[in-house]
Amino acid sequence: MSTATLLRPRGAQDLAARLARSAAVTGEGHQMRTEDVTGWLAERARAHRFTVHRVPLDRLDRWSFTPGTGDLVHHSGRFFAVRGLAARIGGGPLGRWQQPVIHQPEVGILGILAKEFDGVLHFLMQAKMEPGNPNLLQLSPTVQATRSNYQRVHAGSGVRYLEHFTEVPPDLVLADSLQSEHGAWFYRKSNRNMLVEAVGAEIPITPDHRWLTLGQIGELLRLDNVVNMDARTVLGCLPLPATEPDALHTDVELLSWVTAERARHDLDVRLIPLAEVDGWTRDADSVRRPDGRFFRVTGVTVEAGNREVRGWSQPLVEPCGTGVAAFLFRLLDGVPHVLVHARVEAGYVNRVELAPTVQCTPSDWEPLPTGDRPPFLDTVLRAAERGATRYAATHSEEGGRFLDACVRYMFVEADAETAAIEAPGGYTWVTIGQLNSLAAHGHYLNVQARTLLACVNSGAVRL
């Protein structure tokens, strides 16, 4: 056999064009008009019984505080646990703290199935209930499951469509990478983000699933709390090439800058017993800070008619305010660039990931002097006054672990006065194409940056 018959192109030559065609199809796809999606979600919510009630932590079924450590764990030893974390990042009083943290060493699957109809790629999306979603039911990936779930530790039913992601031929995988979740609330948590193409036989569709184009999902990303975090992170990993030939910094310069940022931070993070976490108190209803800042750990009982298990109890992390995640952007010689932050979070695998220009909960910073507030926060909060907001929508975070965790996602137009080309330490300007290149690899872009990238990739915002 000749060598030529063994070799193939290193990348799918037409994939970028196929994704672009899908992003261009809005309004109506193969199966549903965009304007009908919210009505379909409401109909699916009515079709099933969904209830979520707060309960004291010590009354969570099959959960308990471990004697000695005080860690909150499931009786199976699986799913996840709430433990303590001690962190030191550099010097100074703001660089040392302790907190509760979710410890979930399992790698879950976030997978979207793609199929071509009439020459246009469509994505199989699910109407999925999560107890922490502010409106309970949102548009989710085809498969969204922890290893404990798909291995059926809960003794419930199997995960539908799972075989398309666990038994998939390599040539049908369009994207596949391990990506982080929230480094402030998880300890080194990763999920496998997958886009897989279905070819050949028809895929049986349940009433809780629908095929949508990328452009239709982009339209829905302009609405508050419709597309869930797990869908957004997969869409932030689409294999799109750089559309711009030039950038302020070369790709090698960008990678070198990220590596230098990771190397320069003195970081010490370790798990400790939850009972030993300093500055937090535990009462019947929650684990919290006495000053009411940051977040609390609370408990819920859940009924969900269309989940693998119809009822369960669990703890959830509940933020104490609405967050903001925003990219400042500028056109540099006609090419859109966004200002990224090399952000250190205690729960990251690789110390630093690229984050939006601003990522915080503004109310957490109100007690501090102006000089200690995050850079560019006031620029973002006053964007509407200047008419500088290009995109703004509120999206909730992972509803399976967080309760009413809402973030205002924004793209804000900047100029030389509000954001100079010479960025401050820890910040640099990058193109969307450079972000897409990094998103193909794990642990470069954080989950908030991937949400904003998904908004661009799907056409929800045009810079």
Q: What is the pLDDT of residues 202-223, one digit of tens each?
A: 899 999 999 999 999 999 999 9
Q: What is the mean pLDDT of the chain?
A: 93
Higher-pLDDT residue of 7 and 230 is 230
Higher-pLDDT residue of 217 and 13 is 217
Is residue 2 pLDDT above 70, yes or no? no
Is residue 316 pLDDT above 90, yes or no? yes
Is residue 339 pLDDT above 70, yes or no? yes
Higher-pLDDT residue of 375 and 284 is 375
Place 3 in a pLDDT band, splitting at 50, 70 and 90: low
Place 4 in a pLDDT band, splitting at 50, 70 and 90: low
SS3 226: coil
Mean pLDDT of the region 363-376: 88
Q: What is the pLDDT of residues 96-126, one digit of tens each?
A: 999 999 999 999 999 999 999 999 999 999 9
Q: What is the pLDDT of residues 17-48, one digit of tens each?
A: 999 999 999 999 998 999 999 999 999 999 99
Is residue 248 pLDDT above 50, yes or no? yes
Is residue 12 pLDDT above 70, yes or no? yes
Percent of the chain having pLDDT more than 70?
Answer: 96
Percent of the chain having pLDDT more than 90?
Answer: 84
Q: What is the pLDDT of residues 158-208, one digit of tens each?
A: 789 999 999 899 999 999 999 999 999 999 999 999 999 999 878 999 999
Mean pLDDT of the region 267-272: 96
Mean pLDDT of the region 48-72: 95
Place 152 in a pLDDT band, splitting at 50, 70 and 90: low
Higher-pLDDT residue of 225 and 4 is 225
Higher-pLDDT residue of 329 and 305 is 329
Mean pLDDT of the region 327-340: 98
